Structure 1
Amino acid sequence: MLLFDATQRTLRPIVAQLQQAGRSGRSAALYNECLAALEQARSLGDDAALVLIAQTFGLVIDQDGYSDASIAWLLEAVECAKRCGEFGEQAHMLYLVGRAYYSRAEYGAALAYWTEGMEVGTRDGDRISWSWCKLGIGQICDALDAPAIAVKLFSDLGANLARLDSSTQRLPISQWARFDLRLRELKAVNTVNLGVNQMHQGQYDEALASLRQGQTMAQAQKMDDIASECLVRIAEIAALQGDHAQALELLVPAQKALKACSHVWGLATLFLLRAQCQSALGQLAQASVSIASARQAAKQANAQHIALRIERENALIAEKSGDLAHALESMKTAAALQTALDRGSKAHLLRHLQTLAEQSSAADREAPGYSMGLRRKLSV
């Protein structure tokens, strides 16, 4: 049964409105609306509504810096989905929990929840949620500087998604539209991630093709945040090819687009890239201003991995400016951030990621469990 049909009548219009708003973008106002709706669903004991609201909430918790309090709501929704007997929705919520931890650069925790989501998705036959979790694992490969593994994973996943269709799934006709919508969104995000990692491998022509395709797909689904991120990545390719002036020009509309959809993480990345381009062009004063903007956005998004890159770049800018004391200060800050991010074994994570990357579909063997003692095992 669709969870929406199980939702109390008084909450149905709220759920529908939040779902529509969540697909259009993110904002502090939408975050607060979701929070109020979650409180209302909890007070009414409406597990179905709480799960559906949490699915939108999970897309906008960057507005609160992926706080522990926000993640706690997602974990409550995991339990609500389980009580409803909706294991596909449980897998969906596990993906969102992992996404929050990934965004905080807590990759061990993210991997734990995503492998759990793959396991639940496999048992339920939910190939969409399984694939979202698989995509997340590719993003961890990217974050751990393993673009070759990531490119293979996203390429294989894209090929599998191309063969998916609602009519071939064991779903009632009433659920086909939602399946196809989630599939289109998944394809767009996967294509963009493929392009990013092709860029990291120096495959610039392939990366541009993937990013432009992903941008078109995202625009068709009104995924403004994803489409805007593509603009930043295309500018990044220009910078990597040595055309820093063109990159700066491309970042102007990108910044406007990111601000329009309150994509704080994307803005942190944009300001950092702008600082790098300005530094390369000898515009050191402007680069320092961009670094300050990048720091502010990274702090708001609680994006520690971006904060690390910002401090490293700031050290280079300060050194170019002859401010060695400032350069040393940024290097020390970067070292502290790196130590925090390196908690846990990177090599161990990569070995596990390689195993997961080789799985091609939800029909494969059950995903191997992974735990860092961060939570109890979720029963299904």
Structure 2
Amino acid sequence: MTDVSLIPAEFATQLAHIEATWSENPDAAAAACEAMIDRAREEREPLSQIFATELYGLIMNNKGQAVAARNLLYEAVQQAQALHNFPLEARVHEQIARSYYTAADYRTALNHWLRSVELAELANAEPTTWILAKIGIGHIYDALNDPATAVTFFETAAQRIDEVNDPYLDAKIKINLGVALFKCQHNLEAKQALYAALAICMRENYYDYTAESKYRLAEILIQEGELDTAQSLLERALDYSLKAEHRWSEANIYSAIAETHALQSNWEHAIFIIRQGQAVARRNDFSHVLMRQHFAAADYAEQLQQPTQALAEFKAGFKLQEQINTAAQPDQYHELEQKTGLRPNASHLLLDLANHPVIEKGKIDQFPDVICQAAAQILSLKRVILWQRQGHRLVPITTYSGNESIKETALEESQLAAFFNWLNEHKSLIAHDALHHPDAWDLAEHYLKPRGVLSILAFPILSGAEQFVLMFEHVGEQRNWLPDEIQHASQLADITSRAFANHERHHFQSEIHLLNARLTEANEALETRVAERTQTLEMAMEKLVQSEKLAALGSLVAGIAHELNTPLGAALTCSTTLSAESRELIQMLNSNTLKKSSLENFGSTLIDASQLIERNLNRAIELVCDFKQVAVDTTSSRRRKFNLLATVNDVVKMFNSQIRHSQHQIIIDIPSAIQLDSYPGPFEQVLANLINNSLLHGFELLSAGKIRISALLYEGNTIEFCYEDNGCGIKPALHKKVFEPFYTTKLGQGGSGLGMYITYNIITGVLGGELKLESEVDQYTRFNIKLPLLAP
């Protein structure tokens, strides 16, 4: 089952002993596993804890008590995630799925089995787990009265059985295949599969599966009328189930034996046997089995003309049926409330929050409260907190705790070393059991436990140089976060990140407007004081140059934002389509109307939509990467080696949004091999200024302008860089004026008059080059620039 060489020898010996003997005494083995888990926690041995939990889950499942192991299994999942161990995580997810399947929560079981398959394929080394997960998915189809599809999954699992040396797993597949084939009325094939399973079990002394194989064969024989043979098989099956203490098989075998006596009109013996089965089912809380046994006993009592006893059995059966239905009612009521609009579902609430005005406007004094309140409703929580990191502490910005008025204190790094280490890694934290999570145990000890919180989700959020943490806290017993809940929490974190980004954007735009207003005022004042330029004027000019750089960066921000709209819009459309398709699929699953064709159609839609989302998100990533490089270079003057063609392409991309909606063209003719050791930031600013001039001045009266950018190597260590447009041109008398500071034909209309002045100074100063202007009115404007490959 596990590679015990990976854990300390003492733990390995104990685990091997439990694994070898648990079938003989499951109760003692389960207790030994629990003790081993506690000790592994104390000694910080996560692998030992995971291995012991796996075995514990197997034992409890065999006892028919899989749900009782669920909390420990979720704790093992978070340990495997912390170790980045995909095979282990896949195995534990498979066991968790089984616990939900046992409780008839098929949707959650399916999510975990699908996750198990995904992880097993990712690990590329877990055929056993992959097979078990496929069997589990087959169980779901079987439970939803689609045994034909279940057969397909069981056969798919059987195709890989040769990859593992596991007779127990082979027997499991054959038993499940036999049961499904029997339900498809393929009795001959079903018996062949079950006899093959029985042969393996008898050879390997698998008492539990021996019992189940004989029981399932007897079911077929009972249907075929071979009651004596069936009864003999059931009696032997009962012996094996008692040896293995396999209580589920024992309870069902008693029911089947009783049925064989009833079919022979031996009603007294039938009711005697069914009572033995009732005792087993009652002791082990097999509600569904016990319900069926009460109805069978009522029928037998009626045949014996015992109306009082028959009525009592019917009442007991109906009472159990009512309890089972009542247990399922909360989910049914919840779904009904969502459909009728009495309770908005999580997707609608998330959509409303994403479009909330305070999010879009980035109102930092309002959106934290709005987000925390909405998060509490979406995830059914009492506590949601947004923290801000300030040095070595976390300070609460907003604390939502329902109607309670709570003011939280700061969290200090000196007390929470593990938690702050997690924070430094900028990854999400999913803690089903925070007390034993490697990244959250000290937070649980000092902060969560005193507040009655055992389970949390936490997501770090970066906003510029600041770091925040959105934390979702569950008050009460351990909460095992479901995949949908984790996804919703992640979406809430994304919305919070967007709110901070919107706040920064609005703040930045306000600063740009302010700088432009000040620049205009300074231009107007300086026009009247040209004759009095002094040292004060030179200092003012330097500040204005920096303002021009910021304004240029602001233009880049607007351009890249426009460019991102298209791929992100397409990705959002696909995501919305997937959400609608998923809700429809879940509705069919919950109403037992799911068909194979519907699932295949959804799979096809899922693949197509995922590919489209991936392509558009990759496009957005490329745009952001290009923008980041240009933005970093533009706002700095660091020297580095760079490729001329790539750098020119990056700058041109920033103007795509302006070019796309016009008939203007930019033609680039630059060899790909030209490398410069120079200052890319200043060079990019030169090119941006030239393109801006063409769009603003040169093409003012032209609907289809052309810009040509070319370069050639000259004399080995110099390049001739040429920028040319076919715009309105520049009068010969103004050729010298265009490089003077504050000269502009757009004074008061957004032009600063510093663009060409800065361009000239950068080329002749920082880049160590030469600049020559050639122009003919209404024909062209050409800038010939000589630059050294190695800047001074």
Distance of 1:137 and 1:207 partners within structure 2: 19
Contact 1:25 1:223 in 2 (8 A): no
* Equivalent residue number for residue 329 of structure 1: 315
- Partner of residue 99, structure 2: 100
Match of 1:168 in 2: none
Mapping 1:229-268, distance limit 5 Å: 229-268=212-251
Identify if the C-alpha distance between structure 1 residues 348 and 314 changes in structure 2 by more than 3 Å, giving closer, same or farther: same
- Give how far 1:76 is off: 1.3
| TM-score where L is the length of structure 2 | 0.40
> C-alpha distance in 1, partners of 2:195/2:66?
33
Q: 2 CA distance for matches of 1:303 and 1:354? A: 31
Residue aligning to 1:42: 41
Compute the displacement of 1:153 (Å).
Answer: 2.0
* Structure 2 CA distance for partners of 1:358 and 1:269, relative to 1, 3 Å: farther
In structure 2, what is the Cα distance between the partners aligned to 1:153 and 1:141?
A: 9
SS at match of 1:151: helix
Matched AA of 1:12: A
- The 1:347/1:149 distance shift into structure 2, 3 A limit, reads same
- CA displacement 1:356-375 (0-9 Å, x = unmatched): 9879xxxx97xx9xxxxxxx
The superposition leaves residues 90-121 of structure 1 with CA deviations (integer Å, 9 ceiling, x where unpaired) of 11111111212323333333223222222322
Deviates more, 1:324-333 or 1:206-215: 324-333
Partner deviation per Cα, 1:207-243 (whole Å, 9 max, x = no partner) = 1110011122334444331122101111111111112
Query: Hey, what does 2:157 align to over in structure 1?
Result: 157
The 1-side partners of 2:206 and 2:251 are apart by: 19
Taking a change above 3 Å as real, the CA distance of residues 353 and 66 of structure 1, as seen in their structure-2 partners, is: farther
User: Are 1:19 and 2:19 counterparts?
Assistant: yes
Tell me how far apart the structure 1 counterparts of residues 144 and 323 of structure 2 sit (CA, whole Å). 15
- Code of the residue aligned with 1:106 in structure 2: it is D
Say whether 1:224 aligns with 2:207.
Answer: yes
CA 1:335–1:15: 2 relative to 1, 3 Å = closer
1:129 aligns with 2:129: yes
Aligned-residue offset at 1:258: 0.7
Q: Pick closer, same or farther for the CA change 1:75–1:355 going to 2, 3 Å.
A: farther
Cα separation, 2, equivalents of 1:127 and 1:337: 40
2:289 to 306, 323, 327: 306
Q: Does 2:589 align with 1:348?
A: yes
2 CA distance for matches of 1:307 and 1:105?
16
Distance 1:153 1:356, change over 3 A: farther
TM-aligned CA distance change 1:48 to 1:104, over 3 Å: same
TM norm structure 1: 0.80
Structure 2 distance, partners of 1:218, 1:300, is: 27
Q: CA deviation at 1:88?
A: 1.0
Question: In structure 1, what residue type is equivalent to 2:96?
Answer: V
Once residues 190 and 65 of structure 1 are traced to their aligned partners in structure 2, the CA distance between those partners, rounded to angstroms, is 19
Residue 82 (str. 1) matches residue 81 (str. 2) = yes
Give the root-mean-square deviation of aligned CA atoms. 3.1
Matched with 1:181 is 165
CA distance in 2, matches of 1:283, 1:333: 27
**Distance change in 2, residues 1:352/1:117 (3 Å):** farther
In structure 1, what is the Cα distance between the partners aligned to 2:115 and 2:282? Answer: 29
- Give the secondary structure class of the aligned counterpart of 2:8: coil
CA gap 1:335/1:304 in 2 versus in 1, 3 angstroms: closer
Q: Deviations over 1:43-75 (max 9, x none)?
A: 211111111112211111147652654221121
Contact persistence 1:87–1:120 (CA under 8 A): yes
Gaps of 5+ in 1: 166-179, 369-380
Kindly indicate whether the alpha-carbon contact (under 8 Å) linking 1:75 and 1:97 is maintained by their aligned counterparts in 2: yes
Q: 1:102 corresponds to which letter in structure 2?
A: Y
| Alignment pair present for 1:291 and 2:291 | no
- Mark the CA change 1:31 to 1:199 in structure 2 (over 3 Å): closer, same or farther: same
On the 8 A contact 2:94/2:112 being kept in 1, the answer is: yes
Match of 2:651 in 1: none
Shift of 1:291: 2.1
Q: Residue 10 of structure 1 corresponds to which residue in structure 2?
A: 10
Report how many aligned residue pairs link the two structures: 344
Aligned to 2:70: 71
More strand by share: 2
In structure 2, C-alpha distance between the alignment counterparts of 1:85 and 1:252, rounded to whole Å: 48
Closer, same or farther: CA 114–311 of 1 in aligned 2, 3 Å: farther
Deviation of 1:352 (Å): 6.0
2:256 to 273, 280, 283: 273
Residue type at the aligned position of 1:318: A
Q: Bigger radius of gyration, 1 or 2?
A: 2
More helix by share: 1
Aligned to 1:142: 142
CA contact (8 A) 2:181 2:190 kept: yes
Equivalent-residue separation in structure 2 for 1:123 and 1:137 (angstroms): 19
Give the 3 Å change call, closer, same or farther, for CA 198–57 of structure 1 in structure 2. same
Identity of aligned residues (%): 22
Contact 1:161 1:187 in 2 (8 A): no
CA contact (8 A) 2:218 2:231 kept: yes
Q: 1:246 to 1:333 in 2, by over 3 A?
A: farther
Aligned residue type for 2:195: R
| Conservation of the 8 A alpha-carbon contact between 1:188 and 1:215 | yes
Assess, with a 3 A threshold, how the Cα gap between structure 1 residues 346 and 188 changes in structure 2: closer, same or farther. Answer: farther
User: How far 1:193 sits from its partner (Å)?
Assistant: 0.3
Q: State the secondary structure of the residue aligned to 2:10.
A: coil
Counterpart pick for 1:318 among 301, 314, 323: 301
C-alpha contact (below 8 Å) 2:11/2:48 kept by paired residues: yes
Q: 1:306 to 1:328 in 2, by over 3 A?
A: closer
Q: Distance in 2 between matches of 1:246 and 1:12?
A: 45
Q: For residues 226 and 346 of structure 1, what CA distance do their matches in structure 2 show?
A: 35
1:378 matched to which residue of 2?
none
Deviation at 1:77, TM superposition (A): 1.4
Give the SS at the match of 1:242.
coil
Given the superposition, is the C-alpha separation of residues 274 and 64 from structure 1 closer, same or farther in structure 2, using an over 3 Å criterion?
A: closer
Note if contact 1:26-1:60 (Cα within 8 Å) is conserved in structure 2: no
In structure 2, relative to structure 1, the CA distance for the partners of 1:3 and 1:146 (3 Å cut) is same
CA distance, structure 1, for counterparts of residue 182 and residue 63 of structure 2:
30
Could you list the runs of 5+ residues in structure 2 that have no partner in the other structure?
Answer: 333-585, 611-792
Q: By how many angstroms is 1:14 displaced?
A: 0.8
- Contact between 2:67 and 2:100, CA under 8 Å: does it hold in 1? no
Query: Residue 169 of structure 1 corresponds to which residue in structure 2?
Result: none
Between stretches 33-42 and 103-112, larger displacement belongs to: 103-112
Distance 1:63 1:39, change over 3 A: farther
Larger RCO, structure (CA 8 Å, separation 6 or more): 1
User: What CA deviation, in whole Å up to 9, does each residue of 1:8-64 have, x standing for no partner?
Assistant: 232121122222234x55621211121222222222111111111122111111476
Three-state SS of the structure 2 residue aligned to 1:10 is helix
Name the counterpart of 2:354.
none
For 2:132 and 2:107, the matched residues in 1 are separated by 17
Alpha-carbon distance in structure 2 between the residues aligned to 1:201 and 1:142: 10
The one-letter amino acid paired with 2:238 is Q
Q: Distance in 2 between matches of 1:308 and 1:347?
A: 27
